[in-house]
Structure 1
Amino acid sequence: MKKMESYDDAAHKFYGGQNIQGYPLQSMDVYAKFFDKLSMNLLDIKGLTSLATDLKWQDINNFDEEILDKQHIIVVTDAQLKIVYATQNMVEMNGYLPHEVIGKSPKMFQGKSTCRTTTQTVSNAIKNRQPFEVILTNYRKNGTTYECHIKSTPIFDRKGKLVNFIAFEREVA
């Protein structure tokens, strides 16, 4: 708190004699938005790493790169295809908060315009425990459609048992 008092004193000395109608820290609002996003991303990285450790995944992905660099949305399902984890940035793509999708099937994002041939490809890959990569028409919370690039892979524990599926997603512009 002492550091903010020093900043306030310095800002008052600098801006005090000037005719400024705005608040000099207004840029903090812009920065705070990015800071909040970064904080949520870091929490997701920690949460995903913890999930991977707890479930003894054979391979742990580089979540830093996927979330921070590639800005992917990450969805993790259990072996029965119920969502067990979704990153906070999901809301930017489809309007859903993570807690709204936990326990549900990723099919909740599909609808009338979703290609059945593509969903069959996904279904076959899942049945065969194979990775897949598709672009699928999905639905946002508000009912509008978007094209979603999905790259998914099965996750096995150290004993070779299928424990999860992980999907890296982004909206296709």
Structure 2
Amino acid sequence: MNNFKQYEDAIAVYHNGLNVKTAPIFCWDFHNEFLTEVKSFFLDLNKLNSISSKNKWVENNWDLKNSLRDEVIIVTDARLKIVFASHNIVKMNGYVEDEVLGKSPKMFQGEATNHITSNEIRIAILDQQPFEKVVMNYKKNGEVYACLIKGYPVFNSKGELSHYIAFEKAA
């Protein structure tokens, strides 16, 4: 028994002599946030791929993977009703996808939105042309923010207008 006592004392002296800084375990929160972000990314990518294949979108050169990480992607049908919003939308304006589905992107606009810019976007949409504009939009809490929108008409394999896709980020 004496040998174990000496061993335990030696270990205690060793550990007490270490200069170890302890920290509370916050990493679980970071890890959970990371996993949630990864899951959301893949869910969004699968939804976009599903919409694309179901509607037979013509191939394009969009980098959806990087866009999903850095931007908000909104897809509307040809009647301009939102059918998809990426998970990043909540970071940008406080809305979650379920709150915007079936609504028009005009729901983000208000008094501070420039009507000339809105009209230029409307004309591009009517002409089925891509556009890139900065618009003053509103967050869910009513706060105004500048939003860079890159919008594109999306056509199916028959050449018919299928959807519109917008890549958005705070400007």
Question: TM-score, normalised to structure 1's length?
Answer: 0.83
Which residue of the partner structure matches residue 121 of structure 2? 122
Gaps of 5+ in 2: 1-14
1:31, CA displacement in angstroms? 2.2
Matching residue's letter, 2:125: I
| Correspondences of 1:12-161 after superposition (within 5 Å) | 22-23=23-24, 25-60=25-60, 61-68=62-69, 71-161=70-160
| Correspondences of 1:4-19 after superposition (within 5 Å) | none
In 2, Cα distance between the equivalents of 1:163 and 1:58?
Answer: 10
Matching residue's letter, 2:59: D
How many pairs does the alignment contain?
153
Gaps of 5+ in 1: 1-16
In 1, Cα distance between the equivalents of 2:159 and 2:22?
Answer: 64
Which residue of the partner structure matches residue 3 of structure 1? none
Structure of higher CA gyration radius: 2
The ranges of structure 1 where at least 4 consecutive aligned residues each deviate by more than 4 angstroms after the TM superposition are: 17-23
Indicate the percent of aligned positions where both proteins have the same amino acid.
40
RMSD, aligned CA = 1.6
1:108, CA displacement in angstroms? 0.3
1:63, CA displacement in angstroms? 1.3
| Corresponding residue SS for 1:142 | coil
Which residue of the partner structure matches residue 162 of structure 2? 163
1:154, CA displacement in angstroms? 0.1
